[in-house]
Structure 1
């Protein structure tokens, strides 16, 4: 015969808390290493600027970018840094 174990609400609550902590530990490092990339339209919305102004920021080196095919991407951290400097 199989032995019957009784699980209390407290046992389930502790299991839930332990599981959440383990999931957070897995997700947090991955999130910290991920760089968020934004497209031109998102950057223009954030900075409230026109396409021409964004082009000027690229040309004069104020805002770094990476071009993949015909799409330009900008690091979120660079946008925040630009906002903080103004």
Structure 2
């Protein structure tokens, strides 16, 4: 097998091509990111809180929610964000 010499320029070209491919993949994935919506029971189990506490979080605006046909849904990313913000405050 013949030896081939790889130059610094070859490596830079490869790096640029690789980064472009990674960027394309990330852009493709970001278009398909779906929000996971949780029902009240799932949120209560996740946070280990009562129905009354969850209602208080809704009323005072702690947890954003959407109501569709009498069912309340919570964005899981928003819940994680609230938790992260509260952890930073309490440190």
Q: TM-score, normalised by structure 2?
A: 0.59
1-structure distance, mates of 2:71, 2:43: 13
DSSP-derived class of the 1:55 partner? helix
Mapped pair 1:67 → 2:67: yes
Q: RMSD of the alignment, in Å?
A: 1.9
Equivalent pairs counted in the alignment come to 60
Mapped pair 1:58 → 2:38: no
Q: Which runs of 4+ in 1 moved over 2 A?
A: 30-33
Q: TM-score, normalised by structure 1?
A: 0.62
2-structure distance, mates of 1:59, 1:31: 32
Structure 1 residue runs of 5 or longer lacking an equivalent are 1-24
Residue number in structure 1 paired with 2:4: none
